[in-house]
Each structure stands twice: as C-alpha cells, then as structure tokens.
Amino acid sequence: DIQMTQSPSTLSASVGDRVTITCRASQSISSWLAWYQQKPGKAPKVLIYKASSLESGVPSRFSGSGSGTEFTLTISSLQPDDFATYFCQQYSSFRTFGQGTKVEIK
Amino acid sequence: QVQLVQSGSELKKPGASVKVSCTASGHTFTGYTMSWVRQAPGQGLEWMGWINTNSGNPTYAQGFTGRFVFSLDTSVSTAYLQISSLKADDTAIYYCARDTGSLQHWGQGTLVTVSS
C-alpha cells in the first residue's frame, strides 16, 4: 500500500503569510495527487488535482507542485477563510490520504 | 449540479448494524465510482474502499473487510454502506464521494455513534 506523509501536522501563520505544506509518497505516484481543504463540521473540498491543476472556483492563491514522491501545496497570501485543515490524497493505486495539516492563526 | 445526499445521524448500541445511504443527483449514477471515507472524531480521513456503480463490484481497503459492505440500488441512484457488529471505535462520520481519482463531490457526511 502507498503511504502518504504530510508535514507539518500543525502550522501557525498570520494573514498575508505565504504557507507551504508538504506531502511525501512512499513510492512514486507520478502526478496522481489531490489536495483538500476541510473546515470544522464540513465535508472536504478539493482544491488541486493531478498535483498542480486548480479545481474550478478555487482562488488562484492556492497552487500545487511536485511529481513522483514529493509534493507541495502553497497558499501565496493566507486569507482569513483559509484557516482550516488540509489533506493530500494519492490516487495512483487505490486511495490514501495524508494525516492532515491544521493551519492555525498565529 | 451534482449532489450527494446522505442519510441522517445514527445512534446504535454495540453489536448492532447500521446502513447509511448516499443518493446522487445531477449526474449519471452508473458513470462514476463511489468511494466511502471514514473520519473518526478529531482525526484524519481514511479511505474505506469503493464500489463500481456500473458492475456493483466493491473493493475494500485494508481494515474494512468483513463487517463493511457496499451496495447499490441503481433504480434510485443510491449507494449504501452497511456496518455490522458495531464497536465503539466505529464511531465516526462516514462520507460518500464521487470518485474520478480525486474526490470532487462529497456527501454531507453521516455521523454514526456507537454507545451503550
């Protein structure tokens, strides 16, 4: 099974900060990676698919990069609405989620 | 627009069974695989497996074999998750999600609480 390791688990940041979250796969997944945002009490929402493609309607301050085993989600200028938990998910072989990164207010 | 609407919260005793439904609209039900995802309280997301809505063939992730059953009723565009012999650590929110690799559309989640 493919394991996904996200870091950090918690991130404290201020509005306007540039934020980067990393996801590592235990083996190559090419670009078969998605990123999700989840707010308390809500279902996850897809932000990025195929490692770097922005889902329709998602603000352009979100971007994804990487291939193979190393991936990043970047928020270029953190907004109040962005304080949430973020998950990566591989879909190269079945599905596996990372353990999540909670973005908190500093 | 695509919508997945799940059944309401359930409170069950240990050893009982529960069946969660997920009714789709706004797309061709048999055109997309449906995944199920579990989220225990305060925890991350666990992929439980999927069901091919065309063939009805289910695939279960490790840790979700035996007590977990995925099924369909294509006549009402509905997928089901049944869990038998419930345990306290089955307490979680269960989501269905339309699977095209990424999970683009999600149900609102169904909270299943197992408590005596």
A contacts of B34 (beta carbons < 8 Å): none
Read off the amino acid at residue B55: S
Asked if A86 has any chain B CB less than 8 Å from its own CB, the reply is no
Assess contact for A89 and A98: CB atoms under 8 A: yes
How many CB pairs below 8 Å do chains A and B form together? 56
pLDDT at B50: 98
Across the interface, of A1, A45, A87, the residue whose CB is closest to B45 is A87
Burial annotation B32-50 (CB, 10 A radius, 16+ → b, else e): bbbbbbbbeeeebbbbbbb
pLDDT at B31: 87
A46-81 pLDDT, tens digit each: 999 999 999 999 999 999 999 999 999 999 999 999
Asked if A58 has any chain B CB less than 8 Å from its own CB, the reply is no
How far, in Å, CA of B95 to CA of B81, rounded? Answer: 10
How far, in Å, CA of A85 to CA of A103, rounded? Answer: 6
User: CA of A68: how far to CAs of A24, A32, B100, in Å?
Assistant: 9, 9, 20
pLDDT at A45: 98
Asked if B61 has any chain A CB less than 8 Å from its own CB, the reply is yes
How many angstroms separate the CA of residue B13 from the nearest CA in chain A?
Answer: 24
B24-68 pLDDT, tens digit each: 998 889 889 999 999 999 999 999 999 999 999 999 999 999 999
A contacts of B62 (beta carbons < 8 Å): 1
pLDDT at A34: 98
B contacts of A94 (beta carbons < 8 Å): 47, 59, 61
B contacts of A44 (beta carbons < 8 Å): 45, 95, 103, 106
Neighbours of B17 (CB within 10 A): 12
